[in-house]
Chain A
Amino acid sequence: MTQTVLIKNARIVDPASGTDDQGAVLIDNGIIVDIAIGKPISLPEGAEVINAHGLVLAPGLIDMRVFTGEPGKEYRETLQSAGDAAAAGGVTSFVMMPDTTPVVDDGALVDFLIRRAKATAKVNVLPAGAITKSLNGKEMTEYGLLKEAGAVCLTDGRHSIQSSAMLRTAMGYAANFGLTFVHHVSDNDLSGDGVMNEGLFATILGLKGIPREAETIPLARDLQLAALTGVNYHAAQTSCAASVELVAAAKNRNKTVTAGVSINNLALNENDIGRYRTFFKLSTPLRSEDDRQAMIEGLRSGTIDTIHSDHDPQDNEVKRRPFAEASDGAIGLETLLAAALRLVHSGDLALLTVLRAMTSRPADILGLPAGRIAVGAPADLILFDLNYPWHVSEQQIRSRSRNTSFESARLTGKVMRTIVGGATVYTHAD
């Protein structure tokens, strides 16, 4: 068993340090032990040598929002199949949402999931603990015990807590334990029966709209409560220009707030729904092109911190339905990097900016040592070809569910090798 690995002839791109240079990285026992840029590196006896041939070597991606089917809906996704999909997509760690059956609202379940994932999944699975019992929005879970068991953050997943009083209590208590409070912002009354972005396109399709205010009103409340309680607050998903403005204003006053955006809201817009394509029925909904541009600008300015896949496996039974009756959600682990690279190839964002939002920023928000190429950091790394053209084919999807919003999409940039803890867990085969 090789403990020592040398990756040479790589283009090292590390957002945490701002590095973008040719060099080599030495790994020993799952940890990065040396980084050689513009200097020779001594090759230890018996080391495995990986010649990167100029590919980009970056920290493995950390995906802050992934839904799995396990436990409870294994026919949609298991930890193993999600791990395979993640490895193929260059995601070396993902935060698992607590929306499972049973709900991850108890330390014992967190402990079980960590063991289960170690035994079956190729990548690091980081369970999030529920904010409220059974995601009911009413009773707090045991944040201290959840943290001791290994929960990386608190979130009610796709559920949004409606009561301001409940949020204030939960944020205040979470602040005691230094757990990041990740919240999906949605005003359920205002969203009503809405199934897509409110606007002309929804009107033409005869579908009920979800106004942007269903996101911005609870977001404004959350940002004020975060300042009141001092909790580390992360707005799980933002999707519109007005939300970017709110987060920017809050960040001026309060350093403990951050915000994420789904890759779907960066790469797609409401017009992709076309004639009722349910794989584009998402929560948060796809917004207008102006909103998509505003989210890109938010990343550029640093107002928006993270990009996640919002990987949400749903089977045909709940997707092949009339639009309003279909479930929300699309898978995204395998396409996260390539879809994000669209923004690099289009000239919208720098490579370092895009990678930062999927590596060091989520690591910082969650307090993880990963997400960077630094001596002493875990050797969770990816090698990718920035210019490799491919298209998403349903047959090649590793996820157990096939509900991709990038079906048949042409993408540029592909992971060639994924390394988790120094061990190669995925290599691209033509």
Chain B
Amino acid sequence: MTQARASTAANSSASLSGDYPPFNQRHLLSIADLQQHEIIDLLDRAEAMVPISRQERKSHPMLSGKTQINLFFEPSTRTQASFEIAGKRLGALVMNMSIKTSSVSKGETLIDTAATLNAMRPDVIVVRHSAAGAVELLSQKVGCAVINAGDGAHEHPTQALLDALTIRNHKGRISGLTVAICGDIANSRVVRSNLLLLKALNVRTRVIAPRNLLPAGIEHLATEVFIDMREGLKGADVVMMLRLQHERAQGHMIPSVREYYRFYGLDAEKLSFAKPDIIVMHPGPMNRGVEIDPAIADGPASVITDQVEMGIAVRMAVLDALLPARNSEANEL
């Protein structure tokens, strides 16, 4: 520990973040706010972060002295853990706050919570909330950087970035590919962020779902819309399966899990319609036997565990990109 602290952050970060132009965003709230070059910049930065997590001493304390608060209004194991590990590997002081009851029932508004946390002078707050737009609202009330870790059915920008990095690593490129996304499109923030990011990188996007899981106007956001999964998978380079909230969906959104699996579950037969070198992705947590055959989830085409690894790299890159931007802004003031 003492050794890690002794190695100065300035020297070690020069090799990693010093090569990049300053990241001119105050927060990371949505992919919609990013230009193509900013997306590519973040992917490049994340690529450079990957080796840190693969070395024996997984520490690169370029954020030492910084405070990161993970504020999760919705339960999440993997995203919160990923942000926590990312912050800690970069040497930040990370605090987790899980607010299980909603802010409304607690009587404290989101803005009250923001004001309280702001007074603790964090450098970055990572927020997940069940309401679309809540993270942006909070960002307007605090003086530090804010990262959206998922707001309702709106966006989950770091998920889209880690998906893109995973694709780029496996395919060697992103532009020009055909990516199919299948499942509960209507209620998914992952889909919205992914469609925006993939469109910015000139990917041919497809969404596949039964009609009642397709939101109004989706044909304007995806290149193609499919009801038939086999048709949707034809010639695809990548398929992203979405988690079906089956406890909530059964009875009104879909009649039963077995019917859903029959028509929209990813199995070997349906997968055979895609390109032979297709990769299978899932943002997790998976429902094996609901949206995906366990043999596929654990099979050779699956890159699901790679996504988890890239998630840490992407979150390290985002933290690193946003925090210097905050510093230079503070210096100007």
Contacts and interface: CB of A to CB of B under 8 A. Distances in A.
Interface stretch (A65-73, A195-203, A386-394): A195-203
Contacts of B132: 205-207, 276, 322-324
B216 A321 contact: no
Given A200-B216, A205-B133, A317 B109 contact: yes
Given A199-B217, A200-B220, A203-B216, A320 B155 contact: no
A204 interface: yes
A206 B109 contact: no
A206 B131 CA distance: 9
Contact of A276 (B133, B155, B192): B133
A322 B218 contact: no
A260 interface: no
A407 to B, nearest CB: 15
A364 interface: no
A207 B221 CA distance: 15
Contacts of A320: 109, 111, 137
A276 B109 contact: no
Nearest to A208: B153
Contact of A209 (B111, B216, B220, B221): B216
A321 B103 CA distance: 10
A132 B151 CA distance: 39
A204 B221 contact: yes
A323 B110 CA distance: 12
Interface in A310-366: 317, 320-325
A275 interface: yes
A322 B216 contact: no
A208 B192 CA distance: 14
Interface residues on A, range: 20 to 34
Contacts of B137: 276, 320-322
A200 B109 contact: no
Contacts of A198: 216
Identify the interface centre among B32, B109, B131, B218: most chain A CB within 10 Å of its CB. B131
A322 B102 CA distance: 12
Interface in B265-281: none
Contacts of A275: 133, 136
Count chain A CB atoms within 10 A of each CB in B137, B154, B192, B220 and give the residue with the most. Answer: B137
Contacts of A206: 132-133, 151-155, 189, 192
Interface in A241-286: 275-276
B215 interface: yes
A189 to B, nearest CB: 11
Nearest to A317: B109
Contacts of B177: none
Interface string A94-108: 000000000000000
A324 B221 contact: no
B6 interface: no
B152 A324 contact: yes
A321 B132 CA distance: 11
Contacts, number: 72
Contact of B216 (A199, A323, A324, A325): A199
B301 interface: no
Contact of B134 (A202, A209, A322): A322
Contacts of A200: 216-217, 220-221
A201 B217 CA distance: 8
B104 interface: yes
B129 interface: yes
B131 A322 contact: yes
A111 B111 CA distance: 41
A322 B137 CA distance: 7
Nearest to B217: A200
Nearest to B215: A203
Contacts of B110: 321-322
Q: Which of B133, B136, B151 has the most CB of A within 10 A?
A: B133
A22 to B, nearest CB: 52
Interface string A107-118: 000000000000
A204 B133 CA distance: 11
Interface string B90-105: 0000000000000010
Given A199-B216, A200-B217, A275-B133, A325 B104 contact: yes
Interface in A142-156: none
Contacts of B218: 203
Most chain B C-beta atoms within 10 Å of own C-beta, residue among A204, A206, A209, A275: A206
Interface in B123-152: 129, 131-134, 136-137, 151-152
B252 to A, nearest CB: 10
B129 A322 contact: yes
A204 to B, nearest CB: 7
Interface string B49-89: 00000000000000000000000000000000000000000
Contacts of B104: 321, 325
A195 to B, nearest CB: 9
A322 to B, nearest CB: 3
Contacts of B32: 204
B133 A322 contact: yes
Contact of B136 (A209, A276, A325): A276
Contact of A324 (B131, B136, B189, B217): B131
Given A321-B110, A324-B131, 12 more contacts: A199-B216, A200-B217, A200-B220, A200-B221, A202-B216, A276-B136, A276-B137, A317-B109, A322-B110, A322-B132, A323-B131, A325-B104
11 contacts: A199-B217, A200-B216, A203-B215, A203-B218, A205-B132, A206-B153, A276-B136, A320-B137, A323-B132, A324-B152, A325-B104
Interface of A: 198-209, 275-276, 317, 320-325
